[in-house]
Structure 1
């Protein structure tokens, strides 16, 4: 393909709470090699700075032995207050240049400098501040790999803490966080609702019916209904209206549905194409929910973190922008 370069140009680290992923990338942004480990910031080989050093050496030592001059960038919770070096939140609106301007640097024992991306803070008038760390890199990757989203788009990023992000002119303008995934886990594991749930998966037909019922209940709700409707995850099981194996599907749909009710209401005036960004299975769930709300996503993207780290490195001047046409090689 035009513009493809197979020479390594960058080491990029997606360093989260529970896992670490490393990418050896070429000058066109293509991933040449990738590695993964469980050494997230709460699972280091040993506490403190020595643990970060050990995790970095295990992940990148062989790459740096072969290519000692490569720049290294990192994003995610490694830049949090509990990370290797804190990179303070940058303010919205923000693009890759703003992230590069707010980056922090940390030196390693072998003399390598790592540039760490900051998170973002959104301070809407009259509202509590909202923050993200890691998602801003995924957004940068989505915009680099899919330039059509940069002019104006709404990015929905499902996860433990889902994000609804408004993008205009290549900048993150504002966003809202929903603790949908964490709320689901807490209710299943630490509340009465989980007592009737089983570990076995429901049949596809039962799961689909339970999911559709949860979405419909959320769609037809009025403000304040969630605390009442959540109890249906127990009562539907007690009365036999839903099989125990499908109660998780119902509760998941109910919580996702309420997130979509709020998210689509917030974005009603945006009139922008909607894109899903994140893990495939969860994005499919959100896609099904959005379809029932009559707002199907225009595009669904997978892991855009490598492209985002590459975009961050370009903005920081660590690698040259890829030649025209080379972006088709991005992950």
Structure 2
């Protein structure tokens, strides 16, 4: 990397999840000067501090050597109970100041330290607790990129554990988690439903996906566990080809999430607020298709907003190292 980007670097932002690590070198305006990624997620570290240090040196050692005073801020599973160092959950609702106040620091040699943001814990009366770790930073990243969302927005973040979040008055007021992605993987790989599916992924079948969505919308009162068995019976009777079964099952799972999520949105008084999708573009496109099947549409679709969120939180807390 040339010297000029390092001279203008103000923050090393780390999006450190379970399955991967993404590092972003950001300037004083939050613009990305450079980015890198690796597969060294928290799930492969086994809670070993040395493994985290080595992963950080591998992905950003030259940046740190070139700019010894560069501040570091991370979000995600790096701060989980079995991460590098636990950053206990902050209480929801929360704003940026609440997250910054509960940041923890871990030293990793030569006087350097990494700040780790907490996740969020929601404990609503009469309901089981819910948690997120990393997604809260993406919510504030969306707010950084689109300040008009400050009044109110419903933000959907598809993934292994999809999150539906309420942003209101620049606060993350509440959220709901759906294990849609994990359920799909478990059913695909370890259930009777997967036995009729091809052993390797095939081209996506949009019509089968839409059929699953329609079944969830129009007959969802039958229950997800009942409707899932149709994945097997439709295959056994030949009404759906083996190659289409995974997409039909995906439609059922996402459809039930959308059915519940849109009802949650209405109960939170967000029916007229902007609806956002944040996440991997291909998965967001699938959710956008699902929303259309429910006569709804996303007002915005954003890729990873964690870098913008990390910069916003660092800027508001006064942690940036601005060049003279």
Give the TM-score taking structure 1 as reference length.
0.91
Deviation of 1:72 (Å): 0.6
Distance 1:258 1:80 in 2: 29
Distance 2:259 2:138 in 1: 24
Could you say which residue in structure 2 is the equivalent of 1:259? 257
Distance 1:140 1:276 in 2: 14
Deviation, structure 1 residue 141: 0.6
- Structure 1: how far apart are the matches of 2:203 and 2:52? 44
Q: 2: CA distance between counterparts of 1:260 and 1:89? A: 27
SS in 2 for 1:230: helix
Determine if the alignment matches structure 1 residue 217 to structure 2 residue 218. Answer: no
Contact 1:199 1:245 in 2 (8 A): no
The 1-side partners of 2:150 and 2:321 are apart by 20
Q: Structure 1: how far apart are the matches of 2:270 and 2:68?
A: 47
Residue 12 of structure 1 pairs with residue 13 of structure 2:
yes
Whole-Å separation in 2 of the counterparts to 1:128 and 1:59: 38
More helix per residue: 2
The alpha carbon displacement at 1:78 in A equals: 0.5
**Structure 2 Cα separation of the partners of residues 184 and 91 of structure 1:** 30
Shift, 1:42, TM fit: 2.2
CA RMSD of aligned residues (A): 1.8
Q: Deviation per CA, 1:159-203, whole angstroms, max 9, x where unpaired?
A: 000001011011110000000000011111110000010145555
The Cα offsets for residues 51-99 of structure 1, whole Å up to 9 and x where unpaired, read as 1111111122100111111111011000001111111100111122111
Query: Residue 39 of structure 1 aligns with which residue?
Result: 40
Aligned to 2:68, the other structure's residue is in SS state coil
Runs of 4+ in structure 1 off by over 6 angstroms are: none
1:287 and 2:285 equivalent?
A: no
Q: Does 1:180 align with 2:190?
A: no
Gaps of 5+ in 1: 322-331
Indicate the residue corresponding to 1:101 in structure 2: 101
Pair 6,112 (structure 1): closer, same or farther in 2 beyond 3 Å: closer
